[in-house]
Every structure is written in C-alpha cells, then in structure tokens.
Structure 1
Amino acid sequence: MSENIALTRPASSGMALKRLRSYGWLLLPLLVLTTLFFYPLLLIVQQALHDESGQIGFSSFWQVLESRRFVSALLDTVQIALFTTLGCLTLGSVMSLILVFIPFTGSRLIGLVIDTFIALPTFLITLAFTFIYGSAGLINGGLMTFFDFDLPPVNFLYSMWGVILAEITVFTPLVMRPLMAALRQIDRSQLEAASVLGARPLRVIAQVIFPAALPALLAGGSLCLLLSTNEFGIVLFIGAKGVNTLPMMVYSKAILESDYIAACAIAVVNILLSIGLFMLYRLVVSRAGVRSSSC
C-alpha cells in the first residue's frame, strides 16, 4: 500500500509540472498582448475619463459626446458604412454570380485582378479616382475641353458619395472572395432540377443560391461594415467637404488641435462601436451557420 502511494506522488507531481509548462507557453503571448494592446487601450480609456484638471470624471467625456460635431461625425460614419456595405454586397453578388455561373473568356483573369485589389493600399485606389474624377482629372478635363465649361461638371468625388464609391471599390473583393468560394460549392444538379421544374433565374437565385451563400454574404458584409466604419485613409485623401467621420475626428482632435482628452473619448466610442459590430457579426454568422447546416 505504501509503495502505491509512493508511486502516485511522483506521477501527480509530474502532471503538475506538465501543466505549469503548458501554461508557461502562454506567458509570452500574454506579455506581447498586454504591452501592445491592453496597456495602450487602458491608457486611452483612462485619458478619456479624466478632465482637464486631471481628476476622474465623466464631465469631459459627456461634453464631447453631446457636441454637434461628434453627433455629425457619428451620423456620417454610420451612413458611409451602411451605404458602402450595401454597395459592396450588391456589386459583389452580381459579379460573383457572373464569374461563377456564366463562364466567358478572361473570367479567370478578371478574378485574379479582383484578388489583387486586396493587396493594394487604399490610397492607390483613391489616387486613381482623383486622376479620373477629380477637378483636373480625365473626365473633367475632357468635358471642359470639348464643351468649353468654365467649371468642372463632375464634382461628386469631393462629397460623401465619392467616399462611398471609393470604399465600395476597395472593399468589394472582400465580399467576392468568400462568396465565390461558397457559390462554387453549390451542387449544380440542384440548379438544373430547379430549371427543369420551370423556375426562372431570379427564383433560382432567391430560393437555391441565396440560402446557400448567406453565411458567406454575412461574413463578407460584416467585414466591410467593420472596415468602412474604421476607414481613415480614403476620407483623408479625398478631403470631402463636410464629411467628418469618427477616425477623422480623432485625428483632428489629437494632431491638429492637441485635445487628447476629446480624442481619447471619441476613440473609446469608436472602439465600442467596432466591438459591438463584431459581436453582432459573430451572432448572425453563428445563427446562419446553424440554419444552413440544419437545412
């Protein structure tokens, strides 16, 4: 009996050492995350909850949130994000259906070109838009030359719609990649059976293709919503008049006005908005996955 107890003690101590070693591997990732993410985030929240005298309080925080400039920036951010996501879903769905179900010469090349947009920085697309639709761009230059206009007739680029169009161009491939992968997995026999039974193309898309592609649409659309909510470079590079988003307001408050308390308060709101959208995305995608698997 004493020999069994003596044998079990080293075994239990060995298991404890193995557990400590397994947990020890987590120290380095936790240290990196704490240094690069949690500690700066804590500093932002701490700065946002301090007033100008250095005391903890919500007076400065609520003063920023109640300002007309913040409300306008929040509305612009939400409006740009929603219209961008809707445009990406519409354009990405149409192009994905064409490239997957209507093969033509050069479709593979077009798919590769679309994939390269993901690797390009956003300011290149914005720069291309400036060369084409800008005040001194190709379209305005040609129209002013041929029709002798005094002012550029095409001026939508420097408005909210110019920002939305540029973001749709940048983020549409993020919808197309998962959507095209999902469309290629659809059994073609289901489409043939639906067409044999007399279903029209729109009905086939609505009742056969759309349910199968719904998780991919939700994944790509939610990613576009998150990225367009936090987009900074496109709005800054275009310089749209009267358009002020939350990231732009953080930049202007911190860099141009040196108001770090207001900048941190707006950053906290932007972080909470992003986390809320991400949690909503996870909830919707999980439910869509359950429904699609049950069907």
Structure 2
Amino acid sequence: MGRARVVWTLPPVLVLGALFLYPLYLVVRQTSFDAFGQVFASGVFRDALWTTVWLAVGATAGCLVLGFLLALVIAFVPFPGAKGVAKFIDVFLSFPSFLITLALLFLYGTVGVANGAWTGVTGAAEGPFQFLTTPWGVLLAEITYFTPFVMRPLLAAFSQLDTAQLEVASSLGARPARIVRRVILPEALPALAAGGSLVLVLCLNEFGIVLFTGAKGVTTLPMLVYSKAILESDYAGACVVAVVNVLISVGLYGLYRVVSRRAGA
C-alpha cells in the first residue's frame, strides 16, 4: 500500500519540480546579498512596492464591494436573463486581462469612443477622458477584470442559502438592508474571504493590465522585473524583485490558510 502511494505521488511531484521548483531555484540562484542590498536601497523598488500594494488592496476592496452587490442582484432580484448573466460570468473568467484593458481603451482611450464623441460635439482638440494612463485607470481596469472572481464563489454560496431564512426574516418585518446584514452577509463571509484573497494575490502579480494601459508613471513589481530584465539587462536585480514578489504572494496565501483554518472556514 505504501509503495503504491509513492508510485502515484511521484509523477505530480516530478512535474511540479520540473515546471516550478527548478525554474524558481534558477531565479533564486541568480540573486546575492549584494543584489538584494542594491535593490532594497533603490527608490524605484520602494515606489514599485508601494504602488503594487496599494493598487492590489484598492482593487480587492473595489471587487469585494462591487462583486457582493452584483451577486446580490443576480441571486435575489428576479429579472429576465439572470441565469444567462450568471453563465456569462463563468465565460468572463476565461478572458485574458489584456482583452478587458483593450475594451476600456476602445471606450475611454485618447482616441476612444467617449473622447471621439466629445470632440465631435464640442470641436475640442482632445477629450476629457485621460485617466486610463494614470493609476486610477489601472485600478478601474483591475476592478473590471477581477470582480467576477469574487462573484463566482458568492453566487455558489448564495445558491446554497436556505431561502426559508429570508422568508422568515421578511415576515417578521425585517427590511432588505437588515436581511442582507444579518442573514446573507454572515453566510457570504467565507466566499468573500476566498474571492478577496484570490483577487489580492492576482493583483499583486498582474502585468498585462499595467502594460496595456500604457500608464508610464505606474511601475509595479512585475513591471519592474520586466524593465530590469528586458530594458536594463539587469538579470540579478530582476531576480531579486521576482523573489520578493513570490515571497509576498506565498506569504499572503499562507496567512489566508492560517486565518481560515482558525476561523473554521
């Protein structure tokens, strides 16, 4: 029995080692204490770290609020096409991030639909919508793309909610806001925690959205890895930034596992 377990365990371990652990080992081997010291002393790294953190936290907060409200509407407000919208969310999860960014550029870019309509009506040289190349544009794109990652576990949790609780609360005179706060929200907290944790880790490692928005003043850790490795040929510095990014992501995942286990989720 023990030998059979080893035989079945060995192939996935080998695949994991070949596809993840060995490349990670090569990245770590390129680093050194001097490289860590130079990168940590750099103001560019500190700015990139702060930008990465506040964008990830802001996008996660926006996704949690927007995702919870939209999931509430889809799950509990009857309207035609609700099932179709729920199924579209599953399809949306398969879209690449740069596709959503391109859609926003088509709508609000410098030569997008909104600016084109404005200049066509007013005759101005340029439109007023110039926010996509700023950190707020990156934040909007990340919230737009990652909100379904919060909605999907919420919809699954809402589908298992006993509707009798809602009917009893309503019959006792509870208003919708009180029902949401006292009945629905406690049931949704594990799904919110799971979806929010996933979005936070994904935002920390997001590269395509920042690149395709063309936000020149926005440098995140993944963008810093790209610029150091490709533009500056500073491979040691790029590996240091990559290791820091991996440690942050793994640390957040470990923290989520510890908190969820203690909370009984």
TM-score, normalisation: structure 2: 0.96
Could you say which residue in structure 2 is the equivalent of 1:149?
124
Is 2:38 the partner of 1:38? no
Query: Which segment drifts farther, 223-232 or 23-32?
Result: 23-32
State the percentage of identical aligned residues: 55
Is 2:92 the partner of 1:122? no
Q: Following TM superposition, where does structure 1 have runs of at least 4 consecutive aligned residues deviating by more than 3 angstroms?
A: 287-290
Q: Tell me, which stretches of 5 or more residues in structure 1 are unaligned? A: 1-17, 50-57, 291-295
Could you say which residue in structure 2 is the equivalent of 1:168?
143
Could you say which residue in structure 1 is the equivalent of 2:111?
136
Correspondence for 2:166 among 178, 188, 191? 191
Is 2:224 the partner of 1:249? yes
2:187 maps to amino acid:
A
Could you say which residue in structure 2 is the equivalent of 1:206?
181
Could you say which residue in structure 1 is the equivalent of 2:247?
272
Q: Per-residue deviation at 1:113?
A: 2.0
Structural mapping, 1:99-110, within 5 Å: 99-110=74-85
Q: Per-residue deviation at 1:285?
A: 2.5
1:78 maps to amino acid:
V
Q: Per-residue deviation at 1:24?
A: 3.0
Rounded to whole Å, the distance in 1 between the matches of 2:88 and 2:160 is 22
1:27 maps to amino acid:
L
Correspondence for 2:11 among 6, 16, 28? 28
Correspondence for 1:259 among 222, 234, 247? 234
Correspondence for 2:51 among 67, 71, 76? 76
2:9 maps to amino acid:
L
Rounded to whole Å, the distance in 2 between the matches of 1:30 and 1:182 is 33
Is 2:165 the partner of 1:182? no
Q: Tell me, which stretches of 5 or more residues in structure 2 are unaligned? A: none
The answer to whether the 8 Å contact 1:218/1:284 transfers is: no
Is the radius of gyration larger for structure 1 or structure 2?
Answer: 1
Deviation track 1:194-213 (CA, whole Å, cap 9, x = no partner) reads 22222221111111111111
Rounded to whole Å, the distance in 2 between the matches of 1:25 and 1:189 is 45
Q: Per-residue deviation at 1:59?
A: 2.1
Q: Per-residue deviation at 1:27?
A: 2.8
Deviation track 1:15-62 (CA, whole Å, cap 9, x = no partner) reads xxx53343133333222222221111111111112xxxxxxxx12212
Structural mapping, 1:80-91, within 5 Å: 80-91=55-66
2:99 maps to amino acid:
L
1:79 maps to amino acid:
W
Query: Which segment drifts farther, 190-199 or 121-130?
Result: 190-199
Rounded to whole Å, the distance in 2 between the matches of 1:147 and 1:251 is 41
What SS does structure 1 have at the residue aligned with 2:79? coil
TM-score, normalisation: structure 1: 0.86
Could you say which residue in structure 2 is the equivalent of 1:12?
none
Change (3 A) 1:21 1:199: closer
